[in-house]
A and B are shown apart, each in its own frame.
Chain A
Amino acid sequence: MGLSEKAYKLKAILYLHALRTWRYKYSFINSSINTMLWVTIFLLGAILFAKPEDLPRIAPVMFWGVSAWNTVSYTVLFIAGWTTWFLVTTGLVEEHFLHNTSLSTLLSGRLVSVVFESIIAIALVYFVLSSVVGGMDIADNPLFIAYGLMCMIAMALGYGLILSATGLRLSIPGTLLDISNFVVFIVGGIATPVEMLPRPLRLVAIVIPYSHAAEVLRYGAVRIEPYLGLGLEVALSGILGAGMLTAGLLYYKYVEDRYVRIHGVKGIGRM
């Protein structure tokens, strides 16, 4: 496949997802509101644990924790969950193979929906949390925030592609994928700075790639010094983001070529 054909396909896929987001605008708006409501339910519960005088200090950390988690979990859900529930169920996998288009390219385009959804959800969460706390400062250095979020999205895209490819073989439903998201949120250094976690959990957090990008993000937001130092965390975030994305794409190609094109896909069976 020549470069021009690749560029043509990429353009078509970006157009497809932008069009889908517009065409299914009510589903898209509903999804953003849905996220905001879930996050608010948990934040209102969690706030009852805190002393009122501590709220202005911890609110920005909570805000970026849930914003980063929302972005990561929606990237995974929009890619891996969508594959099993929508692509396979509606028979679109074979359709794309017939047009010689890799599913991984198609799925990567879902980032268009993720970005739009995240912008709306993050704005709504800010509105809710700042009205509960009474205003908060959330951005000290936007460059680090953007870098941290981009690295997290690259990691989540790689992880989502791996789960999606695995789902084509095992019919793993999207709901199961959420399990790891919950775990990662608490012990993966997304909800709180790694320094705040109990000592054994810090080791777990360091192993989970998201924690490094989250540390960079928090530095950009409220100047909390990253656990392993700013330089190392920035480098690790970039390396891990690029590494996970490459691994996701390579694994997808392997599953497509060695399994799906030979045996077909497994959907979620009822009978």
Chain B
Amino acid sequence: MKALSVRFMDAVRAEFYSYIRFYKNNRAFLFAAFIWPYLMMMLLLGLGYLFGDPRMYAERLGVRSPVLFVVSASTVAMSSVFIIDEVAGYTLYNRWNGTLPYLILVPMPLSKRLLSASIPSVLLSPAISVISALPVAVYIEGLRGFMLVTSLYASIILGMLPLAGLSVIVAGLVLTTKEESNVASSLAPFMLLVSGVFYPVTILPKILQEVSVVVPVRYVVDIAKSLASTTAAGQLYVAIYALTLMAFAYNLFTVPLLSRVEARVRMYGFE
């Protein structure tokens, strides 16, 4: 039986290959991924300029450049959406294609199988968003803009680690629901909503402010706000500690939860 097992690193390598081939074969999709942060930025700034004044926005958020802040926030938002959609959508896509039975039959625990699928998303999807944001950041703030966006990449990676655990759990749960789409896809916008991605968390109802304390994206947004802030970045270290703690906590639950999902799938199958 041991001779049949697949090494984790081999699965990761295969997933990287698959991820890169996907974008290579679907260049229109890659193009869309690059311009998505700009579309989000355009939507918010477009609404803002039409209905009000960007100086008021900058003043209320305490940031120097509203455009730079919105670009950074959109980058964080897109990375979070990508990872949840890609990892949770992984099982769904393979189910539609008819390749899911082969993945389930791979001699490897489901938790490791899905975790290996999440690694390329964790590393590469924020890279796509960050690279797309770089030109505007450099144009507006020069070297400072470059430093800001590259530091943001490190913080997004840190923020994606707990999200990877969460996404793997969602991907496993998608296997047990007999639905046509990812029924948990509203998780990504919900996390963005409570994280105050384009506004201060304080404008949200009290209950949502309390929920946001356990949402990793909130701390990545806090880091983005600190980096773009006009005042001292006091909350930066708190955010980094919180994300490190969450990376361990969220991934701790992944393996036992997925073992139960795997047992259920092997017992009852999936549609």
Contact = CB atoms under 8 A, between A and B. Distances in A.
Say whether A and B bind each other: yes
Interface of A: 20, 24, 26-27, 30-31, 33-34, 37-38, 40-42, 44-51, 54, 58, 62, 85-86, 89-90, 170-173, 175-176, 178-179, 182-183, 185-187, 191-192, 196-197, 268-271
Interface string B196-207: 011100010000
B96 A90 contact: yes
Contact of A173 (B18, B32, B180): B32
Contacts of A20: 180
Given A51-B56, A186-B42, A179 B185 contact: no
B185 A26 contact: no
B35 A179 contact: yes
A96 B186 CA distance: 31
Contact of B198 (A44, A90, A178): A44
Nearest to A270: B22
Interface residues of B, number: 50
Contact of B43 (A27, A173, A176, A186): A186
Point out which of A37, A38, A46 has the most chain B C-beta atoms below 10 A from its C-beta. Answer: A46
Interface in B43-65: 43-44, 46-54, 56-57, 60-61
A173 B197 contact: no
Interface stretch (B23-31, B136-144, B145-153, B157-165): B23-31
B97 interface: yes
Nearest to A57: B51
A49 B52 contact: yes
B224 interface: no
Nearest to B81: A38
B57 to A, nearest CB: 5
B96 A89 contact: yes
Contact of B189 (A34, A50, A62): A34
11 contacts: A24-B179, A34-B186, A41-B198, A45-B197, A46-B51, A49-B47, A51-B52, A89-B97, A173-B32, A178-B39, A182-B43
Given A30-B184, A171-B28, A186-B46, 5 more contacts: A48-B56, A51-B56, A175-B29, A175-B33, A271-B18
Closest 3 CB pairs of A and B: A45-B198, A49-B52, A49-B48
**B51, B56, B184 pick with most chain A CB within 10 angstroms:** B51
Contact of B50 (A47, A170, A191, A271): A191
Contacts of B35: 179
Contacts of A270: 18, 21-22, 25
Contacts of B189: 34, 37-38, 41
Contacts of B97: 89
A42 B179 contact: no
A68 to B, nearest CB: 14
A197 to B, nearest CB: 7
B193 A45 contact: no
Nearest to A268: B26
A20 B220 CA distance: 38
Interface string B168-194: 000000000101111111100110110
Contacts of B182: 27, 30
B51 A179 contact: no
B52 to A, nearest CB: 3
A20 B179 CA distance: 10
B58 to A, nearest CB: 10
A30 B185 contact: yes
Given A30-B186, A42-B198, A270-B18, A49 B25 contact: no
B161 to A, nearest CB: 23
B233 to A, nearest CB: 21
Contacts of B48: 45-46, 48-49
Contacts of A27: 179-183
Interface string B219-248: 000000000000000000000000000000
A155 to B, nearest CB: 20
Given A48-B60, A173-B28, A270-B22, A26 B47 contact: no
A201 B35 CA distance: 21
Nearest to B48: A49
Contacts of A178: 32, 39
A225 B250 CA distance: 54
B57 A48 contact: yes
Contacts of B42: 182-183, 186
B179 A44 contact: no
Interface string B88-105: 000001001100000000
A182 B38 CA distance: 10
B203 A44 contact: yes
A233 B182 CA distance: 40
Nearest to A31: B181
A30 B51 contact: no
B199 to A, nearest CB: 5
Contacts of A170: 28
